[in-house]
Amino acid sequence: MDALYDAHARERVVAEPPKRVVAPERTPFERDRARVVHAASSRRLAAKTQVVGPQADDFVRNRLTHSLEVAQVARDVSRALNPAQPSVADLAETAALAHDLGHPPFGHNGEDVLAGIAADAGGFEGNAQTLRILTRLEAKTFDGAGESVGLNLTRATLDACTKYPWQRGDRPGPKFGVYGDDLPVFTWLRDGAPAQRKCVEAQIMDLADDVAYSVHDVEDGVVAGRLSLTTLDAAAIGAAVRSGYRADLSDDDVTQTLAGLATIGSWPARPYDGTRRGLAALKNLTSDLIGRFCGAVQQASFDAAGPGTPFTRYNADLVVPEQTLREMAVLKGIAAHYVMQSDDRVALMARQRELLAELVAVLLDRGPDALDRPFADDWVGAGDDAARVRVVLDQVASLTDPTAVAWHRRLVTGARG
């Protein structure tokens, strides 16, 4: 075990003896990773939307394949920053595998619907839901009072999974990392941590997510025939960038950033044609982009931290250069304009929002008889209307895209006759 991760970092809510199932004995952080990999919530990610729905094409990424790619990037960045501290890679990889567990059906579109419904009941946020899954909803360990503590992960792993270490309303914007009724475990896992500061393992997970998201969504869009990197509309991309990612970037900034990206040797000179050679060229571009972004962050972080500084816990911070931030924002803008804001996608998203809202309404009306047994039990134990809303949101957030459609067909469409 790395010396920089002490007994406090390795502590679990419920103490567990070491297991000697394999030799050599696994570290606590390796056990945490295995628990996330084997969690039911992880399997469900295979049928949850990343950008394009998982039923639309057998090539495009879903939440599970995205999480696996984020985990690989996080492990590589961690090893580059800390070649002598293998636990950093274990923590960052586990956080990456877990980072999207809390996303409901239909991606961010579904998250927006549930956030609106929960506005007066503590809110809904995918990252706060992830913490709730890891520490309560995913069944593995119970405490002495008979209450679920979820996967019973170590303090350092839970901290690495906390992308937004603050409550709703503590900072401007919709992002937060804990619901009010999960504050006890949040307070426990943040013991000794600087207020609202992400540990470096969480920063690595966050960077890996941004890198994978910005690069791979463009790759999926190219293969799906929705965009060509040889004919990009800089003004339209600029509008998408300002709408969703960087309000401060002008059209000139976006044009200059696109020009810089086009200097990469693997940037395409001709349209994608679907051949094996075309696929290989596109894959080389994604590899080059990932290497470009991670290499720039690694160098800037080393320069800022100084020689010998360990990139563990709160000993250092990642530094993401402004050029890297701009390039990732522009790539996200490309995917947003050509894929997420296309007419067919906008119409589909409107239907998805309607479906989820109707499903939540009927579940709130019918109560425990319409819920899976664990959530029905939670409903019975809920003390007020806000708590019952939370139970229904937990149930709906656990559903995959096709399961949400099937539940709606059975409970809503079927009831209408």
In terms of domains, do 280 and 367 share one? no
Here the contacts of 282-291 (C-beta below 8 Å, separation 24 or greater) are: 282/219, 282/222, 282/223, 283/219, 285/219, 285/229, 286/215, 286/216, 286/219, 288/264, 289/214, 289/215, 289/261, 289/264, 289/331, 290/73, 290/211, 290/212, 290/215
33/168 same-domain check? yes
* Structure confidence at residue 50 as a pLDDT band (50, 70, 90): low
Q: Helix or strand or coil: residue 357?
A: helix
- 296/341: higher pLDDT: 296
CB 332 within 8 A of CB 217: yes
- Mean pLDDT, residues 237-263 taken together: 97
DSSP secondary structure letters along 12-35: BSS------SSSSPPPHHHHHHHH
Segment 346-395, tens digit of pLDDT? 899 999 999 999 999 999 999 999 999 999 999 999 999 999 999 999 99
- How many angstroms separate the first and last alpha carbons of the chain? 61
Q: Could you tell me the pTM of the whole model? A: 0.94
- Whether 48 and 62 have beta carbons less than 8 Å apart is answered as yes
The pLDDT assigned to 60 comes to 63
Give the domain-ending residue among 344, 368, 398: 344
Tokens 């339209």 belong to residue: 236
Same domain, 388 and 262: no
Instruction: Note whether 356 and 325 are same-domain residues.
Output: no
Say if residue 51's pLDDT is above 80: no
Instruction: Establish if 164 belongs to a structural domain.
Output: yes
> Distance between CA atoms of 17 and 26, rounded to whole angstroms?
12
Q: Does residue 1 lie within any of the structural domains?
A: no
Chain-centroid distance of CA 392 in Å reads 21
Nearest Cα to Cα of residue 320 among 329, 307, 310, 331: 329
Q: What is the pLDDT of residue 319?
A: 98
- Residue 195 domain-assigned (yes or no): no
Residues 128 and 15 in one domain: yes
Q: Are residues 179 and 256 in the same domain?
A: no
The reported pLDDT for the residue numbered 21 is 62
Q: Report the CATH number that the domain containing residue 141 is assigned in CATH.
A: 1.10.3210.10
Question: Does residue 286 sit within a domain?
Answer: yes
Q: Answer whether 301's CB lies under 8 Å from 311's CB.
A: yes
Q: Confirm if 71 and 138 have CB atoms less than 8 A apart.
A: no
**How far apart (Å, rounded) are the C-alpha atoms in residues 224 and 128?**
32
Among 141, 156, 189, give the residue marking a domain's end: 189
320 and 358 together in one domain: no
Would you state the pLDDT for residue 316? 94
Q: Does residue 317 form part of some domain?
A: yes
Residue 49, pLDDT > 90, answer no
Check whether residue 380 and residue 337 sit in a common domain.
no
Give the whole-angstrom CA distance, residue 310 versus residue 221. Answer: 38
Boundary (domain end) residue, out of 286, 312, 344: 344
Domain span including residue 72: 7-76+83-189
Q: List beta partners, residue 12.
A: 154
**Residue 227 region by backbone torsions, left for phi larger than 0, else alpha for psi between -120 and 50, else beta:** beta
Q: For the chain, state the CA radius of gyration.
A: 22
The tokens describing 347, both together, are 């119409």
For residue 290, pLDDT beyond 90: yes
165-208 pLDDT, tens per residue?
Answer: 999 999 999 999 999 999 999 999 999 999 999 999 999 999 99
Please state, for a pLDDT cut of 70, what percent of the chain lies above it. 94
* Residue 414: pLDDT band with limits 50, 70, 90: confident
Is residue 142 in a domain?
yes
When the pLDDT of each residue in the chain is averaged and rounded to a whole number, the result is 94
Task: Read off the pLDDT of residues 75-133 as tens digits, 9 standing for 90 and up.
Answer: 999 999 998 889 999 999 999 999 999 999 998 899 999 999 999 999 999 999 999 99
Is residue 248 domain-shared with residue 184, that is, in the same domain? no
- Identify whether 144 is part of a domain: yes
Dist CA 88 CA 76 (whole Å)? 11
CB environment 56-87: b (16+ within 10 A), e (fewer):
eeeebbbbbbbbbbbbebbbbbbbbbbeebbb
CA atoms within 13 A on the CB side of 155: 20
Q: How many residues does the chain have?
A: 417
Give the residue among 216, 208, 246, 209 at the shortest CA–CA distance from 330: 246
Statement to judge: residues 50 and 145 lie in one domain? yes
- Give DSSP secondary structure letters for 194-220: PTTPPPHHHHHHHHHHHHHHHHHHHHH
**Count of structural domains, the chain:** 3
Residue partners of 232: CB distance under 8 A and separation at least 6 = 258, 334
Closest of 46, 1, 77, 59 to residue 316, by C-alpha: 77
CB 193 within 8 A of CB 232: no
CB within 8 Å of 182: residues ≥ 6 apart: 128, 131, 132, 135, 136
**Does residue 247 fall inside a structural domain?**
yes
pLDDT digits (tens, 9 = 90+) for 200-234: 999 999 999 999 999 999 999 999 899 999 999 99
Q: Which whole number is the average pLDDT over 255-284?
A: 97
Measured at the alpha carbon of residue 6, what is the angle toward residues 137 and 24, in degrees to the nearest 5?
80
pLDDT at site 43: 96
In terms of domains, do 172 and 39 share one? yes
Q: 183 and 217: one domain?
A: no
Per residue in 21-43, pLDDT tens? 666 778 999 999 999 999 999 99
The token pair at 266 is 């693997």
